[in-house]
Amino acid sequence: MDFLSREFGILFQYVNPKNGDGVQELKDLIFSPNSFRLPIRSFSWDPEREKFLNGLLKSFSSEHSDSLKFVLINSFKELSGEVLQKGLPGLSLFPQNSRKFIREEFDRFGKRFTYLEELTQKSIYIKKILGNAIVGNPIPSERILSKADKILLHPFWGVVSFLGIMALVFQALFTWSEIPMNWIELTVQSVGSYVGRFLDEGPLRSLIQEGIIGGVGAVLVFIPQIGLLFLFIGILEETGYIARASFVMDRFMGKFGLSGKSFIPLLSSAACAVPAIMGARTIENKSDRITTILVAPLITCSARYPVYILVIGAIFPAENLWGIFNIQALTMLGLFLLGMISSMLAALVFKKTFFKSDSSYFLMELPAYNTPSIKNLALTVFKKLKAFLSTAGQIILFISILLWFLANYPRIDSSLYPNAGDAELKKIQIRESYAGSAGKFMEPVLKPIGFDWKMGIGIITSFAAREIMVSTLSIIYGVGGEESDDDLKEAIRKDKDEDGKAVWSLKNSVSLLLFFAFACQCMSTIAVVKKETNSVFWPSFLFTYMTILAYSASFSVFQIWSLFS
C-alpha cells in the first residue's frame, strides 16, 4: 500500500470485507478532506495516441489542460471508441476552432482507438505497476488452484465441469431435501387437522383447511429444495467459480450473438427473472441488453422448481444411472440445460432479426478462489427465501382463496348422487364447479397437448405466478382436507379418468414440463420488462412469443410421442 501511495500520490487502503480488516480505516479516509486529491501519475498511451490527445488539448485554455487531459485519457472509450465513430456527434463538445483538427486526426488515426485496445493497454500498464507492488511467492494452495483453472477455464473441459457441477447440485436437491420436505408436509397436515378440530364441518373449515393451509402449504413443502438451490449458487459465487463459468460461457455465448456480460443476469434467473432483467442494466450495448431481457425468462427460475419437483417426483422413476445420478436429477438437469440452450437459440434469432449490431466486448478479472463465508451464505439464502415467500406468498394466498371458491361453488345437490361416497362427491363437486366449467371450456385447446381440465385450471391460474400450479392442484385434489390422507404426489399418481386410465402419464407430464419451461407465466416479469424497456411493445412481444413457443413445443412432443406409442 505504501508503494502504491508513493507511486500515484494518493492514499491506498487495504480492505478485507470478509473479516472487516481496514474497513474502519477506510471510513476515516472517506470523511477526511485531505484524503482526496488528483493522482500525480496518470496513464500514458503510446506516443502516437499521446500526440492525438495533446492536439485536442490545444483547443482549450491552458488553465484547464491538465485536468482536461486527465478526463480525456480516462474516458477515451467514449471519446474515440463509441462517440466519435457514430458520425462524430461528440464534436459538439469541443470548441469550433478544434473540430476540423479532430476530424482530420480521427480519420487518420482515431478509428484505430478501439475499446479492446484501450483496455488491453491499461491492463498491461496495471500489471507493470502491480509487479513492483506485490512481493512474496504464492502459497502452495494458490499453485494448486491455479492448476485447477487450466481445467475450469478450458474451452471443452470447462463446459464439462460446469455441467458436472450442476448435475451434482440437482442430485443434492432431490436427496438432501427429502427429510425436511417430509417434515414440512407432516407439519402442514398436522396444522390442518388441528385447526379443523375447532371448526364445525362446512364451508369455513373447508376454506381454511383446503384453500388456505392446503394451498399455501403445498408450496411451502418445496422451500428446502429452493433454499438448497440458493445455497449452492451462493457457494459457487463466493468461491469465485461463477466468474470462471462466465469466462467459459463467453466463448459459447459469442456464437449466439451475446457476450459473457449476459451470463451473470442469465444465471441469476435461476433464482428469479425479475432481478436478472434489472441486472441487464449493466450491459452497455442496447441490443445486447434488450436481447438479454427477452431471453432471461427462458432460464429455469425458482418459481418453476415446485412444479418440476412435483411432476418429476410423482411420475418419473427414482432409479439411479451409472451409480451416481438418479433419473429425477438428470431430468431436472435436462430442464435447466433446456432453458439455457433455448435462451441462446432465441438470442441468435433476435440478433439476426431485431438487433443486427455487433455485441460488446467482455473483459473481466478473475477473482482469487475464496473460502465461502458462512455468514454471507446464511444471509443470502435468508434474503432470497424471504423475497420468494413475500413476493409469491401474497399471490398464492389470494389465488388459493379465489380458487377454493371457484372449485366449491355452485354447490351440487348430493341427493342426486345417492350411491356416491364422500370422495366421489368431492370429485363431482369440483367437476361441476365454476373452476371445472372453465377447465372443460379450455379442453379443446389443451387436449392436443395432453392436458385434461384439471391441468387446464392449473395452467390458467399459473399465469399469475408459476408456483400457483401446485396450490391449484392441491385444492383440486382436496389435499389437506380431513377426508384425504394422500400427499399431492400420491393423489396425482392415483388420479384416473372415466375409462379408468391414469390421467397423468409420462407423455403428458413431459408435455406439461415443456409448457412450463417455455411459457411466460409471471406477471411480475411482464411488469419489470415494461419498466426496464420503457415500452409496451417488448413485454407484449415477450408474452406472445413465449406462449407460442410453449404451446408449439408441448404440441409437437405430445403428438409425435402419441404417433409412435
Nearest to 117 by CA among 41, 49, 212: 49
CA angle, residues 183, 187, 223, in degrees to nearest 5: 60
Q: Examine the pLDDT at 86 and tell me if it is beyond 50.
A: no
**Per residue in 385-427, pLDDT tens?**
888 787 777 788 888 888 888 888 888 887 788 777 777 777 7
Domain ranges within the chain, ordered by starting residue: 2-35, 47-133
Q: Examine the pLDDT at 81 and tell me if it is beyond 50.
A: no
- The DSSP secondary structure of 137-154, one letter per residue, reads PPPHHHHHHHHHHHHHTS
- What does the pLDDT read at residue 359? 57
Mean pLDDT is highest, among 9-13, 27-31, 298-302, for 298-302
- What does the pLDDT read at residue 85? 45
Burial class (CB in 10 A: 0-12, 13-18, 19+), 537: exposed
More confident residue, 497 or 42: 497
Q: Examine the pLDDT at 76 and tell me if it is beyond 50.
A: no
Mean pLDDT throughout 34-61? 62
Question: pLDDT-based confidence at 16, cuts 50/70/90?
Answer: confident
More confident residue, 243 or 512: 512
Q: Examine the pLDDT at 104 and tell me if it is beyond 60.
A: yes
- What does the pLDDT read at residue 57? 62
**Per residue in 222-242, pLDDT tens?**
888 888 888 998 898 888 888
Burial class (CB in 10 A: 0-12, 13-18, 19+), 19: exposed
- What does the pLDDT read at residue 40? 54
- What does the pLDDT read at residue 361? 61
CA dist 42 and 288 (Å) reads 32
CA distances from 490 to 87, 473, 474, 501, 505 (A): 66, 12, 11, 16, 13
Question: pLDDT-based confidence at 144, cuts 50/70/90?
Answer: low
More confident residue, 105 or 202: 202
DSSP 407: H
Q: Of 4-8, 102-106, 303-307, 538-542, give the lowest mean pLDDT range.
A: 102-106
All three cell numbers of 229, joined, read: 438451490
When the pLDDT of each residue in the chain is averaged and rounded to a whole number, the result is 79
**Per residue in 422-442, pLDDT tens?**
777 777 888 888 888 888 888
Report the Cα 30 to chain-centroid distance in Å.
35
Mean pLDDT is highest, among 189-198, 257-266, 445-454, for 445-454
**Per residue in 322-364, pLDDT tens?**
667 788 888 998 999 999 899 989 988 998 888 776 556 666 6
Phi-psi bin for 280: left (phi > 0), alpha (psi -120 to 50), beta?
alpha
Contacts of 294 (CB under 8 A, 6+ apart): 346, 347, 350, 538, 541, 542, 545
Q: Examine the pLDDT at 56 and tell me if it is beyond 80.
A: no
Identify any residues that bridge with 522 across adjacent strands, giving them in sequence order: 465
Contacts of 460 (CB under 8 A, 6+ apart): 438, 439, 442
All three cell numbers of 402, joined, read: 379465489
b/e map of 55-81 (b: 16 or more CB within 10 Å)?
ebbeebeeeeeeebbeebbeebbebbb
Q: Does residue 491 contact residue 483 with C-beta atoms inside 8 Å? A: no
CA dist 452 and 444 (Å) reads 9
**Per residue in 460-475, pLDDT tens?**
888 877 888 888 888 8
Mean pLDDT throughout 182-198? 86
Q: Does residue 69 contact residue 50 with C-beta atoms inside 8 Å? A: no
- What does the pLDDT read at residue 48? 64
Q: Does residue 259 contact residue 234 with C-beta atoms inside 8 Å? A: no
- What does the pLDDT read at residue 166? 86
All three cell numbers of 191, joined, read: 396444522
CA dist 47 and 315 (Å) reads 69
Q: Is the peptide bond before 39 cis (omega within 30 degrees of 0)?
A: no
CB atoms within 10 A of CB 561: 16
Q: Examine the pLDDT at 88 and tell me if it is beyond 50.
A: no
Q: Of 258-267, 450-459, 463-472, 499-508, give the lowest mean pLDDT range.
A: 258-267
CA atoms 346, 348, 349, 350: torsion sign: positive
